[in-house]
Each structure stands twice: as structure tokens, then as C-alpha cells.
Amino acid sequence: MNRLVDYVSLYLKGIAMGSADVVPGVSGGTIAFITGIYEKLLQSIKNCDLQALNYLKKLEIKALWEHINGTFLVVLLAGIATSVLSLAKVITPLLETQPIQVWSFFFGLIVISALIILREVKQWNFGVVIAILVGIGVAYYITSSTPAETPDEPWFLFIAGAVAICAMILPGISGSFILLLFGKYEYVLSAIKEFRIADLVFFGLGCIVGILSFARLVSWLFNKYHNITVGVLSGFMIGSLNKVWPWKNTIETYVDRHGEIKPLFQVNVLPNDYLAKTGGEPYFIEAIGFAALGFLLVLGIDRLAAYLSKD
């Protein structure tokens, strides 16, 4: 990386990854994969090892910077931070005022992302099909049984951060979706928006621990069981559609720490039943449009990445 255009390109890829990590649809890892920087990102993270720590102890900054590919990481992280900090302020109010349209958009994102990930299966066999079905079953079970209310304690934020950040290097699973499962998606977005330092510190520490420990496992799984791993990830995404289904009927609620009533347990309903069960407008045509928009957005990114890779 020695040209300005390379830095700008990488920064824009970081913005795309950050955008994907904010919305519970496409994972940052998926964006890294289809924009051609996945392997370089994985290797850079893996290089944050004992050798890097040794360089730091000896204050050999230049050697440390080269070892971890510092310029690459800094530019990429700058792009990710830009989109996370800006989008957090936009998505939070939209989830309150336009939930059906937003969740429909996420639904379209997940569908096309799962299909793109499945394209990476190099050899189809019975084991891959079973892996997909297992992924679907596990994700569906988790999304059906996970409550919306979870502890706001520092230890839980640490765990949520450690698990969610793995999606950044794992094509197929969205970090925001993991936060949804943990019941911490809106909580973390509000912490970013309101700049609650304590919450962000514990969440950030979890992210650091998670990404440094998980990079090696991901690399090993992809190298050793590539097709099976891709199958599980794709199945997990398909099963997760249960969580982002736009039309839900709230069965049970709870009062959050701000005194606002929030859904605790919800069930999916068909669009034509939504009005009768909730009294709300289903916005079916708009939902189809937003789902198509999410679908086309990821497809466009994929096609653009393929075009640029030819140059």
C-alpha cells in the first residue's frame, strides 16, 4: 500500500464493513470476503501475537508496525469506526419509528448474503447439506428461545463484545445479529450514540479478547473443513431470518432502565394477520421494496468487487 488511491479504497472498504457490522444482516467478514481483503485481514489479526508483544516490550515500533501490517489495520479500522459512529445515530430512531421497513431491509440483506456465502462451497456433498441444515436448526432454535431482556452488567457486555466481534472475521454471521441474540443490539447502539464510556470500555475489551483469540480458530476451520464451515455459516444465516422477520406480535413486555416499555417475547405473524393481532399497519408493499433494496445493495457490492478484481 503506497498509493493514495489504495488508502482511499481500503478506507471505503472499512466503511462498508462498519456499515455491515451495525445492521444485523451482512457481516463485516462477508464484506471483507467479497472485496478481496479477507485473507490479509485475517493474517494481520493473527500477527497480533507474542512476537508483536515482544517488539512492543523492546519499543521496536517500526518492526511491530510492519509485523502486524499496521497501516492496513489503521486505515481499515478508521473506515469501520466512521460508519459505526455515524450509522448508530441513524438506525436507533429508525428502529423505533419504522420497524417493519428496517427489519425488511435487514431480511433482504441476510437472504442475499447467505446465497453469496454458499457460492464459496467448492464441492457439494451430503456433509455440506447436513451442515447447512444443522446451522439452520441451531439458529432457529436460538432465535426462538432467546429473550429480549438480558443483564446490563459489565461482565455480560464483555461476553457480548467477545462473541459479536468474531463476526467481523467470520463471513456469514453478523456481529449485530449476535448482539440481537444477546438482547444487546439497541443497548450498544444507544451506548455509542450517548457515548457511555463505561459500557463502551467493557464492550470494547470483550471485542479485543474475542477477535485475537478467534482469528486462529477461524483460519484453522476454513483451512481444514472449508466446505463444512461455509455450510454451517450459511445455514446459520438462513435460520436467523426468524429473528428479523418484520411482522411480530408482542406477547410479553418489560420496562427497561429508562422506564420505557420494551418487547420481551414476540412471535412471528403473517402480514395479513398483523393488523388483526396488533392493530398496526403491515406496510406490505414498502416491506417488499426495502427487502429488495437490501438484496440489491449486497448484490451490487459483490458485482463491483468482482469487477474491480479484474483490474
Q: Is 130 among the domain residues? A: yes
Residue 95 lies in a domain: no
Does residue 124 fall inside a structural domain?
A: yes
Residue 286: predicted pLDDT: 94
Is 217 inside a domain boundary?
yes
State yes or no: pLDDT of 171 exceeds 70: no
Domain hosting 299: range is: 4-89+100-308
**Of 286 and 83, which is predicted with more confidence?**
286
- Report the range out of 10-24, 238-252, 271-285 with the highest average pLDDT: 271-285
pLDDT: which is higher, 38 or 123: 123
Does residue 94 fall inside a structural domain? no
69 falls within a domain: yes
**Whole-number percent of the chain with pLDDT over 90:** 16
Is 68 contained in some domain?
yes
3-state secondary structure string across the chain? CCCHHHHHHHHHHHHHHHHHHHCCCCCHHHHHHHCCCHHHHHHHHHCCCHHHHHHHHCCCHHHHHHHCCHHHHHHHHHHHHHHHHHHHHHHHHHHHHCHHHHHHHHHHHHHHHHHHHHCCCCCCCHHHHHHHHHHHHHHHHHHHHCCCCCCCCHHHHHHHHHHHHHHHHCCCCCHHHHHHHCCCHHHHHHHHHHCCHHHHHHHHHHHHHHHHHHHHHHHHHHHHCHHHHHHHHHHHHHHCHHHHCCCEEEEEEEECCCCCEEEEEEEECCHHHHHHHHCCCCCHHHHHHHHHHHHHHHHHHHHHHHHHCCC
Let me know if residue 133 belongs to a domain.
yes
Average pLDDT for the chain: 82
Q: Residue 92's pLDDT band (boundaries 50, 70, 90)?
A: low
Domains of the chain: total: 1
Predicted confidence (pLDDT) per residue in 108-122, tens digit: 888 887 888 888 888
